[in-house]
Amino acid sequence: MTRTRWIVLAVLAVLGFVSGRLLIRAVGNMLLGGTLFGGNFL
Amino acid sequence: MAIGVLVFTLAFAAGVASKFLVKPAGLQKYDVTWGEGIGTRECDLSYGEGEANRFDLYLPKDDTRDSSGLVVYLHAGGFTTGDKSDDEKMLSWLCSKGYVAAGINYTLRTDGNDASVLTQSNEIKSAMPEVVKAAEAAGYHIDRMAVAGGSAGHALAMIYAYRDGADAPVPVVLTFGAVGPSSFHAEDWGIFGAGTETEEERTAAAALFTVMSGETITPEEIADGSYLEKVRPIAAADWVSHNPVPTVVAYGAHDKMQPFLASKRLVAALDESGVDYRYFEMEHSGHGLQNDDAVYQEWMETVEEYLDKYMPVG
């Protein structure tokens, strides 16, 4: 694979990880209240 | 393209899993699993005739001390669900620190009974002498106690500490907990549609406070303010000056289950009483205090500090 492709995959991995954490935080906030950002790391 | 989707999906799943599996390092020490190395446990002891009138006693391994502190921890569940077994880890942690710990059940509100916060608080009051007696019977002389809880349990803990603490079988020297409703001013309870401005709000407030207080409250009483006398027996903040007890509390600023505004009334009452207290506000969190791990850790460390201060072991 080319270097560019590795970078794209790394970006996708970070985006996926962050999205997963944000989803759970959003669901928790919907049920209990809270902000999407701030406080904990995501 | 396909590998990109796979990487994103796997990372997404890892992100989701990390929210559940990774616990902040500073909070892991409170995650204690019960075992015989901690002590012994007596379960489902009776304190009354009701089916729910049961408590569990966690007795520390060292039974040679001249006296012990008792920590009662009351379970959460919106006054309608929950069980003392839900707090096994908290009770185990307290017991591992050398305290006699107790979890008490109370009659939960259902569609088929008239249980209210008032009847629940009275059950808790009636349980305390039995808990102390059971600890004494097991060979632990109790000379002071703390009462604590989460959410509904926290509300009941505060009611006991401030309203009933002066009549406790041993001195109540500390109360701690999180997200417990401590006052019932209709204008604070907008999260449940309650308020004082419109008929709809007053009707919602009257219905909610009737269930919670066990007293019939009308929209007219909401309008003229006379309902406050009826909810007073379950409004812990109104009782702080009656029996000021050192206090450690935590609340989430975006709470959807109990009004954050009510916590401000509690703080005002604690300030006015001059009692030693600490209040932690988690500005990004709701009822689960789920988005402010650093403040949560500080709160738990403060609970431990106050336990050491007011109920030193040994």
Question: CA B114, CA A22: separation in Å to the nearest integer?
Answer: 41
Q: Is B312 within 8 Å of chain A by CB?
A: no
Element (H, E) at B100: strand B100-104
- Tell me, what's the pLDDT at B1? 76
The pLDDT-based confidence of A1 (bands split at 50, 70, 90) is confident
DSSP helix/strand/coil, B190: helix
Question: CA B46, CA B38: separation in Å to the nearest integer?
Answer: 23
Closest CB to A16: pick one of B3, B11, B290.
B11
Question: CA B146, CA B283: separation in Å to the nearest integer?
Answer: 27
This prediction has a pTM of 0.95
- CB atoms B16 and A15 under 8 Å: no
Which residues in chain B show pLDDT less than 50? Answer: none
Closest CB to A39: pick one of B16, B256, B284.
B284
- Tell me, what's the pLDDT at B55? 98
- Tell me, what's the pLDDT at B275? 98
- CB atoms A21 and B18 under 8 Å: yes
- Tell me, what's the pLDDT at B100? 98
- What's the length of chain B? 314
CA within 13 Å, CB half, B161:
34
Closest CB to B15: pick one of A8, A18, A39.
A18
Q: Report A:1-42 residues touching B (Cβ under 8 A).
A: 8-9, 12-25, 28-29, 31-35, 37-40
pLDDT tens digits, residue range A4-40?
999 999 999 999 999 999 999 999 999 999 999 999 8
- CB atoms B254 and A14 under 8 Å: no
Which domains can be identified in chain B, with CATH numbers?
27-183+235-310 (3.40.50.1820), 184-234 (no CATH)
Closest CB to A20: pick one of B3, B14, B286.
B14
Question: CA B115, CA B88: separation in Å to the nearest integer?
Answer: 25
- CB atoms B292 and A29 under 8 Å: no
Closest CB to B15: pick one of A9, A16, A38.
A16
For residue B173, what are its two tokens?
């020297």
Residues of A with CB below 8 A from B4's CB?
A: 8-9, 12
Question: CA A42, CA A22: separation in Å to the nearest integer?
Answer: 6
DSSP helix/strand/coil, B308: helix
- Tell me, what's the pLDDT at B140? 96
Q: Is B9 within 8 Å of chain A by CB?
A: yes
- Nearest chain B residue to A42, by CA: B291
- Nearest chain B residue to A41, by CA: B291
- Tell me, what's the pLDDT at B24? 86
- CB atoms A12 and B4 under 8 Å: yes
- Tell me, what's the pLDDT at B170? 98
Q: Is B22 within 8 Å of chain A by CB?
A: no
In angstroms, the separation between the Cα of residue A4 and the nearest Cα of chain B is: 13
Contact B119, B107 (CB under 8 A): yes
Closest CB to B13: pick one of A12, A20, A33.
A20
In angstroms, the separation between the Cα of residue B3 and the nearest Cα of chain A is: 8
- CB atoms B252 and A16 under 8 Å: no
